[in-house]
Amino acid sequence: MSVRALRLALAVACAVPLALMAQSPAPAPAVMILRPARVFDGDTLHEGWAVRVRGVHIDAIGPAASVAEPDAQIRDLAGLTLMPGLIEGHSHVLLHPYNETTWNDQVLKESTGLRVARATAALRQTLLAGFTVIRDLGTEGAGYSDVELKQAVEQGIIPGPRMLVSTRAIVATGAYGPKGYALEWKVPQGAEEADPDSIVRIVRDQIGHGAEWVKLYADYRWGPNGETMPTFSLEELKLAVETARGSGRPVAAHAMTPEGMRRAVLAGVETIEHGDDGTPEVFALMAEHHVALCPTLAAGDATSQYAGWKKGTDPEPASITRKRASFKAALDKGVTILSGSDVGVFAHGDNAREIVMMVDYGMPPLEALKSATSVAARVLHLDDRLGRVAAHREADLIAVDGDPTKDITSLTRVRFVMKGGHIYLP
């Protein structure tokens, strides 16, 4: 082989992975029958069932013989469990792991273009990990880039999950970050600051820029010694929720303290994010008001390891022990759990570690599965379209190696991904 031919061959070989990364989803046949070992429909596991997909929708589900159709293409998923595409309730696609670059440096030193390029890869990784829907709760200094990424996915420019976006998120003036810089400088913040005289305008402005969920920070680390304390008053939170609700937008609240959680619940938010120090009393209030908890167990687990904790070897840090206790208290009080990991703190595509951890922290596997499928769809107002394997729902389906109702780690072994009738994996 000549030197020129060798160089050409090497160039082609090197280009193949890039071509595979950029390729469009496989065109779906008019009718496809998926034949796994079993189907988890969002509620129940069925052995020997199959699913018929027609175009972009699920057409039929039931015992394999009952969904047969002449001339349909058969996809054999032997040994696998077919189930709804997973739903990530708390994502930040414009962040990447803090042990790579600190949050401060991502917000202040990485350009929007760089962050969008990285987020493009993150969306693909998330989809191939079996997550066909994400709720992205704040761009953390990247403006309205989440809305533009959502548009790129919907227009087929880039592969990714369906996105519910919240744009910049809203914080009380002086409460958020980055901090630690000379006080005479006005440092760009990771979210949009609001006060009593501006909060209505800011909620409306974020909605005008494409927010489908409004995110508020009901507390943050701004106490006298850096401890987490409530930020917005109950009246301010109510005003924001009323404004969002009037436009048909639900509200999510970052809240870790009992008082921050209490104010957010009474103000009418639909989900509480984190809830690290929640008490039985505040979880009972959440259950009474039908407010869901997005626990983000995986984020605290990751940051503790970044700080030096050797998981599995060292004793658990106090923060992890508290998180276990608060999550158990939420389960005991019957709080609705929406699976959400705060991914971006750790690597995109590793989202299922949240669901695995929920089981490790005491949630039954079947309930953990629902929290990322049928329950998640209900909480996020998607249950008329997604979250279940049922006729007339959109064909967002994945297949995993094993039975996740018995071994939740099966969710980390995704072998097939379909979104809207189009196959992305394999």
- DSSP readout, 325-378? HHHHHHHHTT--B-----BTSS-TT-TTHHHHHHHHTT--HHHHHHHTTHHHHH
pLDDT band at 352 (very low <50, low <70, confident <90, very high): very high
pLDDT band at 148 (very low <50, low <70, confident <90, very high): very high
pLDDT band at 25 (very low <50, low <70, confident <90, very high): confident
Interatomic CA distance for residues 122 and 348, integer angstroms: 5
Question: Which amino acid does the sequence have at 97?
Answer: P
Would you list the DSSP string of 369-410? HHHTTHHHHHHTT-TTTSSS--TTSB--EEEEES-TTT-GGG
Interatomic CA distance for residues 109 and 112, integer angstroms: 10
Question: Which amino acid does the sequence have at 32?
Answer: M
pLDDT band at 263 (very low <50, low <70, confident <90, very high): very high
Percent residues over pLDDT 70 in the chain? 94
pLDDT band at 170 (very low <50, low <70, confident <90, very high): very high
> What pLDDT was estimated at residue 151?
98
Of the candidates 23, 248, 4, 341, the residue with the CA atom closest to the CA atom of residue 157: 23
Average pLDDT (157-168) is 98
Higher-confidence residue: 299 or 21? 299
> What pLDDT was estimated at residue 258?
98
pLDDT band at 415 (very low <50, low <70, confident <90, very high): very high
pLDDT band at 20 (very low <50, low <70, confident <90, very high): very low
pLDDT at 179 over 60: yes
Instruction: Let me know: does 259 contact 322? Beta carbons within 8 Å.
Output: no
Q: Kindly tell me the sign of the dihedral angle through the C-alpha atoms of 216, 101, 135, 361.
A: negative
> What pLDDT was estimated at residue 300?
97
> Whole-model pTM?
0.94
Instruction: Let me know: does 36 contact 399? Beta carbons within 8 Å.
Output: yes
pLDDT at 337 over 50: yes
HSE-CB of 306 using CA atoms within 13 angstroms: 16
Interatomic CA distance for residues 369 and 352, integer angstroms: 10
pLDDT band at 12 (very low <50, low <70, confident <90, very high): very low
